[in-house]
Amino acid sequence: MNKNETDSESTLSSSMTLSELQLLIETMYSSKDEARGIDGTFMWLMEEIGELAAALREGTKEEQAAEFADVFAWLATIANVAKIDLSDALHKKYGKGCPGCGQFVCTCDLSTKP
């Protein structure tokens, strides 16, 4: 599906890359997201994180999965508005191991944030 298609009959495969997620979100919502801006989009992301927290405390696995999906979608949204490629950012930050200790199996102390 190209960026300008609006084929409601299209379905996605059961797995997608971060780049594909960002493109999907851009295709579906970019005009709304650009109008809302980073601050407004960040507030929606925070609301979804709150809903995820509630689902993790007392929701079903299906509710938890739906909230994880929402958080990912809003994270992709804010990355799009900020013009950040998530795949590239993750590769640069974590592609050579833990940013703290440099290992692929983190050896940082549990009390520290790597």
> In the predicted model, is pLDDT for residue 6 greater than 50?
no
**Structure pTM?**
0.81
Which structural domains are found in the chain, ordered by start?
A: 18-83 (1.10.287.1080)
| pLDDT score of 80 | 97
| pLDDT score of 11 | 62
> In the predicted model, is pLDDT for residue 4 greater than 50?
no
Length of the chain (residues):
114
Rounded mean pLDDT of 62-83?
Answer: 97
